[in-house]
Amino acid sequence: MYSLTMMCLLFKERDLNTTHITREWKELAITLAEQGMSWRKIAKYLEKPKSSVSDALRQHYKGYVKPNRDLVGTYVSTIPSEVLEAEPSKEFQEKLLALETMKLDEVPVFNKNGVDMTRIQQGSDKIKKMVKMHKYNTLKGAIGKRLLFICDTQVKPEIKRDYLSWIGELIADKQPDIIVHAGDHYDFPSLSSYDKGKASAEGKRVKADIDAGNEGMKVLLTPMWDLQKQQIANNEEVYSPRMVFTVGNHENRADRFAEDNPEMQGLVGVDALNLEQFGWEVAPFLTPVEIEGVFFAHYFANPMTGKPYGGSALSMLKTIGRSFAMGHRQVLDIAIRPTIDGKQQIGLIAGAAYTHQEGYKGVAGNNHFRGVVMFNNLKDGYANLCPINMEYLELRYGTT
């Protein structure tokens, strides 16, 4: 009585031109099929053409007598004894000896479909990674981009910046292809016309606002930078997303201040922030950036008045006529509408990626969505949108 593994090794050592060996491989094929192995895998395992194996198995299932079998994984041969009693080759004997001296966890183990599960059962990280990469490469051409949309992080000197590290950890974890920050990262409370002449403006300084924004940007991007350093050290492919920053109305405060005070030009303004040093492509205020058919901006303005469009995301989608994403408003509003060509458009308003309270909004006004939005499978102006709120980010990436 021979195990399937031993029998197949013995089979591969025989002279394949003899009649009794032809009968042998057919019986082996039938036995493997009875144990659930696919016909294609049987052909590969016995090193026979799939057509030959298929013909033999079809003939068997049309009325041929099944070979005798004992327990699963054991083969009781009906091959002539003179064949089985033939002296195995020296090479085969060495293979047999190697099998007998193998550790228990190295012996091939077949599942119900006849698949050798040994390496999988050993938890081979290499195999799992190869399978994952194969699936990724297979789908890579079919799926769209992954984009993380961030807007209105509104960093100022007096606030905690933990929320920025949570977003940064999300970036390092999910590694989106594209990151869009739609502006209002630098809050610039010192340049706020709302606070001008009020006690709330006392003691606020432009330099402190710039320093706070720069520090916040470092907190946001440090997890990604740490990941890149680790990948370089491990000689791995380095994660390098496209990064787009569309200037918001709060950063535009600095430009307006420089415009009103020409002596400050070069010292104050969006250009002086030097966002490029952090890796951002910078789009001027209210200049939409098209990415995979979706237009991104801090907000979209009425060309006749220069004021932001009002209304819901759906009404704006009808007005703009193209898929869009914007911040500015502290809401989460998502709209989807079909077009006459059978496609779909999306509209997104999500303008609060911070955790602090804004005094000017009051208690009720501060009760709004806070978080970011992941665009999955972004292509042709459409994506599967996944809002991620700050509560989840804190639970997932926050430290206690």
For residue range 36-45, list pLDDT tens digits in order. Answer: 788 888 888 7
| pLDDT reported for residue 76 | 42
* % of residues, the chain, pLDDT over 90: 52
Point out the least confidently predicted range of 286-290, 357-361, 383-387. Answer: 357-361
Helix residue spans in 103-248 (DSSP H)? 118-121, 125-140, 162-174, 206-233
For residue 169, what are the CA distances in angstroms to 103, 227, 296, 392?
Answer: 43, 10, 23, 12
Most confident of 11-25, 330-344, 361-375: 330-344
Name beta bridge partners: 242.
Answer: 178
Point out the least confidently predicted range of 201-210, 250-259, 322-331, 385-394. Answer: 201-210
| pLDDT reported for residue 132 | 62
| pLDDT reported for residue 197 | 54
- Give the integer Cα–Cα distance in Å for 398 and 400: 7
Query: What does the pLDDT look like over 154-186, one tens digit per residue?
Result: 999 999 999 999 999 999 999 999 999 999 999
Is residue 327 within 8 Å of 351, Cβ to Cβ?
Answer: yes
SS3 373: strand
| pLDDT reported for residue 24 | 72
| pLDDT reported for residue 13 | 46
Nearest to 298 by CA among 151, 179, 153: 151
Query: How does residue 112 score in pLDDT terms, banded at 50, 70 and 90?
Result: low
The angle formed by the CA atoms of residues 144, 148 and 152, to the nearest 5 degrees, is 150
For residue 322, what are the CA distances in angstroms to 178, 316, 335?
Answer: 20, 9, 12
Tell me 262's DSSP state: G
Beta-strand pair 145-150/74-75: unpaired
For residue 132, what are the CA distances in angstroms to 96, 141, 229, 372?
Answer: 34, 15, 23, 27
User: What value does the mean pLDDT take over residues 355-375?
Assistant: 85
Is residue 251 within 8 Å of 188, Cβ to Cβ?
Answer: yes
Residue the block writes with tokens 């739609």: 182
Query: How does residue 248 score in pLDDT terms, banded at 50, 70 and 90?
Result: very high
pLDDT > 70? residue 352:
yes
The distance of Cα 132 from the centroid of its chain, to the nearest Å, equals 12
| pLDDT reported for residue 231 | 94
User: What value does the mean pLDDT take over residues 331-342?
Assistant: 95
- As a whole number, the mean pLDDT across the chain is 81
| pLDDT reported for residue 33 | 82
pLDDT > 50? residue 17:
no
User: What value does the mean pLDDT take over residues 362-372?
Assistant: 85
| pLDDT reported for residue 284 | 96
Per-residue tokens: 312:
């819901």
Helix residue spans in the chain (DSSP H)? 4-13, 19-34, 39-46, 50-61, 81-84, 90-101, 118-121, 125-140, 162-174, 206-233, 249-260, 270-273, 313-320, 362-365, 390-397
* % of residues, the chain, pLDDT over 70: 70
Higher pLDDT among residues 72 and 158, named by residue:
158
Query: How does residue 363 score in pLDDT terms, banded at 50, 70 and 90?
Result: confident
Q: Whole-structure pTM over 0.75, yes or no?
A: no
- Give the integer Cα–Cα distance in Å for 222 and 216: 10
Domains observed in the chain: 2-101 (no CATH), 143-397 (3.60.21)
Please list, in sequence order, all residues whose beta carbon lies within 8 angstroms of the beta carbon of residue 201, skipping any fewer than 6 positions away: 189, 190, 192, 195
Is residue 351 within 8 Å of 331, Cβ to Cβ?
Answer: yes
Point out the least confidently predicted range of 245-249, 252-256, 349-353, 356-360. Answer: 356-360
User: What value does the mean pLDDT take over residues 247-256?
Assistant: 94
SS3 242: strand
pLDDT > 60? residue 118:
no
| pLDDT reported for residue 193 | 62
Query: How does residue 53 score in pLDDT terms, banded at 50, 70 and 90?
Result: confident
Point out the least confidently predicted range of 123-132, 218-227, 289-298. Answer: 123-132
Query: What does the pLDDT look like over 282-305, one tens digit per residue?
Result: 999 999 999 999 999 999 999 999
Q: Directed axis angle between helix 50-61 and helix 39-46, to 10°?
A: 120
Please list, in sequence order, all residues whose beta carbon lies within 8 angstroms of the beta carbon of residue 356, skipping any fewer than 6 positions away: 154, 159, 160
Point out the least confidently predicted range of 21-35, 102-116, 127-141, 272-286. Answer: 102-116
User: What value does the mean pLDDT take over residues 39-58?
Assistant: 84
